[in-house]
Structure 1
């Protein structure tokens, strides 16, 4: 089952109303790349509704806050990009992506930033219920640099990514972030197992208890700084998970 995960990363919050200088329909990645990079600020490029496989374009255009360049689907969600489709921004500025649905396979990079700024993407990224994480990568002006500023990231889902309950208020873990000892408490049901996973799903630690317990202090000081997933299984065989940050 595929759930719809809408993802927006916003590098600038507001654009002034702009006068559109041109509206151009484009049907191939190469044509889009060529025309966008030669476009005047305020231009709008429209991809007709449909499914496009391996649709890729690299943008180097620099517009401005008053008149950004817009690349959008004919209607919101009307364009599905499959295969290894991707958009790359290479030292570009003030470009908006709007209304695309990415349904790519494998580990394709969907949107990549290389030393770019003031970009906005309103797109939809379906993921399966087996997905464990979403990775966002931005490269700075030079190779290896990470000086991209992302001011807002929003995730929306029509349903949970897994059948496990990530919002169970009965499970309490603190402090979070944690440096040394993580206190785990289930306010309602006793638990019998604790597992600690890396963000990519690798099991790092597993503890089982002969008798069910309600609280436990887990030592995490020997793990590297980063984001992890704590998962407990209670006496009713129900699993509950919480994200934690180790900051030692």
Structure 2
């Protein structure tokens, strides 16, 4: 099977490529660095030529309103090119609870991406994943004031990027689901608790202050960012992942 990975040099794409190659599939890694531009369409047809599956992991460079235009343009270009190339399965990565947080422009953009995929000509699978362990440090940096990290108590169920890559690889290797596969980490944390666990493991001198109005996750209501019923739970625990990072 031939698989083209758009965003193949990224955090998830590179791991998906390694896994698919190890399984004996022919993999084409496509990104700006290889001359493929999903916004202008340059190089797309060539990258998708002969592909059975396209794994679309291209991400917006911003998280504001401009991300909506990015996903609209890129998805329409990829959908047209995939249809012309006769691609039989289109896989994208999205976010658990993405349809429950309309206050966030980036989540609205990902919802538009999902909508375009559903309405497109190619059979598809949407892999919705929870937040990555690798992003916890960035989330804390956004709300750090001096020695204090302000975080809300929003429930989250994060997972390792490697486990996300495994889920995307599985989706690409199977028949199109024509629907959503939800994947999440094995444990639920309050975001402020997750921050305290992280700082303690790294002997970081900052202190977490519970602040229900801090950061982008303050607008999230309830437990919409945790695994819905029927979700697949990944094996890697956050504390174990943290230990391996030391």
Q: Give the structure-2-normalised TM-score.
A: 0.29
Q: Which has the larger radius of gyration?
A: 1
Higher share in helix: 2
**Larger relative CO (CA 8 A, sep 6+): 1 or 2?**
2
Q: Give the structure-1-normalised TM-score.
A: 0.29
Higher share in strand: 1
